[in-house]
A and B are shown apart, each in its own frame.
Chain A
Amino acid sequence: MANVLEVVNPGPLSILQDLGRLGWMKYGVPPSGALDQEALAIANLLAGNPEGATGIEVTYGNFTAQALAPAVLSCTGAWAPVHIDGVPVLPWAAFAVTPGQIVSIGTPAWGVRAYLAVRGGIAAPVVMGSTSTYIRGALGGIDGQGRALRAGDLVAASEPPAAVSAATAPASAVTARAVAALAKRQAVFATAHSSAPARGSASTPSSKGRAIAIRVVMGPQDDHFTDAGRQTFVDQEFTLTNRADRMGLRFDGPAIEHARGADIISDGMPPGAIQVPGDGLPIIMLADRQTTGGYPKIACVARADLDLLAHMRPGDRVRFVPLSAQDAYEALKQEQAASRAPGRALRIKIDGVEHVVALFELQ
């Protein structure tokens, strides 16, 4: 174990995440883990790690760290400029740093959460099977007690590169998967955000983004709403408010009408549950959600679109598109199959210049 990075500026919120702690909800502990699971998995593969290694989830960019040792890093997720000593490097690709160099992740052009992986994986205490930071529950993270990163924190790689290289996917497969995931996020978010970020509820964005289609499976408590209420849910658009964090996303919009009150006997909270309290406005529950809840859940977000929720900004509009559980599953399978097919290219813009990207893992 060797120190690789020293955090100079963590930005608004930077926390260690892996793919989460599953199986502990019965004890009152939510899964936590990277909100954009595919982005963390790809960051790890690009850096030469197994998918589930610990990385840094950087919220709204403005993260700076200094390299303490030679290291291979990669950054995925939100489309944020990445620089080494002020020189831009490609996001969604691996890059090398030498001791003393400054790595910075700037304000994302689109999306919210960027994922920084370090070859060897980041070393952190394993709490209930995971290193994921759960701030409210004081679990996991850099100190094992749920703390976010702060200036001066030393980030260590848990394994020397040789020990992990055998577990990684071939570079071409990683590249195809990275291109597919980046293309999907770019297609949704490059046009989704308002031109001026909504910083307070009073601010009026100068242009509205395109509504984001989020696929959902109706239920388990859609029968707690009137026909008109269900119609409102699938026909209308909802706007993300400022009350958005890793626990959930609270939306504004037309009220969804309940059929018989907004209380149910508290029950388990599935991933992506969309609960509707008495005010009729939907809340999508994310990885740090409470494990049980007493509001009816009109629908749950399909697996294939769960990762997108990591990148919604206040002011973004969403449209819920219902489909059956089996159709949602087929859609997920299809996307995964497509993302494993090699031979795709992607056009991206960096500092105003268009590039056709070919991503390669550093060997």
Chain B
Amino acid sequence: MNVHEDAPKLLWAGDSAVVIQFGNDISPSLASRVRRAANALEGARLPWLVEVLPSYRSVLAEFDPRLISPAAAIEALQGIVNVADAPDGSEVDAALVEDDIVTIPVCYGGQFGPDLDDVAAHTGLAPREVIALHSEPLYLVYMIGFTLGFPYLGGMDPRIATPRLTTPRTVVPAGSVGIAGNQTGVYPSASPGGWRLIGRTPLRLADPSADPPCLLRAGNRIRFVPIDEPTYYLVGGADNGQRA
């Protein structure tokens, strides 16, 4: 069987978990391998596999020691990952299918994006140019972490990079879209935060009572689509972050 020159390393993470590590940088090609491995592990429906957590360059696989020994688990994981990771000449976009592009409507500026003017001032762009550059790329969800449904995104245009607020807000409303340095992200739930807020989505990104409990998953591509305020309210957007 073909294997990548940089075959994944399986590293012990205690006696009931293994880290499957694909490399040491942040790139769409590594993310694609991570996603394939995570999909294969989940698809195998192994009763002893209790957590599969994809991140930038690795997958954390946790197993139930009541059901399998570490030696047997690592052998089974290695087998699945080797098959999933075999190169087929389409590695960068193999995991990208149309279904996985999630459109996130955003009402930019105004009461929902109180820092849009600051971002414009910092970057020397007009507010509408900031909006255009932010809603242009197809972003990649590298991982979900920090809080329920929070996506770590790659692909933001460096021209709109802006440092965090020097004093974080005590409450950032759910759905807020922000910029922090060269990252952009969406707050799934209300929380404290120092990101520069440029808009808000009426979509509910996290709902603990839903299955799955969040809209996004690692490997999704997302696109932000500008909407106006009437549309924001029409599709059920909330006023001031009263949602979960």
Interface of A toward B, CB cutoff 8 Å: 22-29, 127-128, 137-139, 216-221, 265-273, 290-292, 297, 300-303, 325-326, 328-329, 332
Rounded to whole angstroms, the CA-CA distance of A302 and B52 in the bound complex is 19
Q: B residues within 8 A CB of A270?
A: 13-14, 16-17, 19, 60, 62
Decide if B15 touches A28 in the complex (CB within 8 Å).
no
Looking at the assembled complex, report how far the CB atom of A144 sits from the nearest CB atom of chain B, in whole angstroms.
8
* Chain B nearest Cβ from A276, distance in angstroms: 15
A332: chain B residues at CB < 8 Å are 15, 65
List chain A residues, Cβ under 8 A from B56: 265-267
Known: A271-B14, A271-B16, A273-B13. A26 touches B53 (CB 8 A): yes
Nearest-CB residue, chain B, relative to A269: B60
Q: Chain B residues near A22 (CB, 8 Å)?
A: 50-51, 62
Residue of B nearest to A140 (CB): B208
Q: How far is the CB of B43 from chain A (nearest CB, A)?
A: 14
Contact A217 B14 (CB under 8 A): yes
Q: Would you call B51 and A220 a contact (CB within 8 A)?
A: no
CB contacts (< 8 Å) of B150 on chain A: these are 28
- A129 to B, closest residue via Cβ: B211
Q: Is the CB of A325 within 8 A of B70?
A: yes
Partner of A27, one of B24, B71, B149, B189: B149
Q: Can you name 5 extra interface pairs (CB under 8 A) apart from A267-B60, A303-B15?
A: A266-B152, A268-B13, A270-B13, A290-B145, A329-B70
Instruction: Please determine whether A23 and B51 come into contact, CB atoms closer than 8 angstroms.
Output: yes
In B1-32, which residues have CB < 8 Å from any A CB? 11-17, 19, 21, 24-26
Residues on B with beta carbons closer than 8 Å to the beta carbon of A28: 144-150, 214
Q: Is B106 interfacial (CB 8 A cutoff)?
A: no
Residues of A within 8 A of B146 (CB): 28, 290-292
Instruction: Tell me if B201 is interfacial: C-beta within 8 Å of chain A.
Output: no
Are B65 and A268 in contact (CB-based, < 8 A)? no
Q: Which of A267, A302, A329 contacts B55 (CB 8 A)?
A: A267
Which 7 A-B residue pairs are closest in the complex by CB-CB distance? Answer: A268-B60, A300-B14, A292-B145, A328-B15, A220-B11, A270-B13, A268-B53
Q: List 21 A-B contacts (CB under 8 A).
A: A26-B54, A26-B144, A27-B144, A128-B208, A139-B148, A219-B19, A266-B143, A268-B54, A270-B17, A271-B17, A273-B13, A273-B14, A290-B146, A291-B53, A292-B145, A292-B146, A300-B12, A303-B16, A326-B15, A326-B69, A329-B69
Residues in A whose Cβ lies below 8 Å from that of B17: 270-271, 300
Q: A27-B213, A267-B56, A332-B65 are in contact. Are A300 and B13 (CB under 8 A)?
A: yes
Q: Mark B204-242, 1 if CB is under 8 A from A, else 0.
A: 000011001110011000000000000000000000000
The verdict on A29 contacting B213 (CB below 8 Å), with A268-B19, A332-B65 known, is yes
Chain B residues near A137 (CB-CB < 8 A):
147-148
Is A266 a contact partner of B12 (Cβ separation < 8 A)? no
A291 to B143, CA, bound (A): 11
* A300 contacts across to B, CB distance below 8 A: 12-15, 17
Is B59 at the interface (CB under 8 A from chain A)? yes
A29 and B12 contact, Cβ closer than 8 Å, known pairs A22-B50, A267-B60: no
What is the CA–CA distance of A269 and B17 in the complex, to the nearest angstrom?
A: 10
Residues of B within 8 Å of A292, CB to CB, are 53, 55, 143, 145-146
When C-beta atoms are compared, the residue in chain B nearest to A27 turns out to be B214
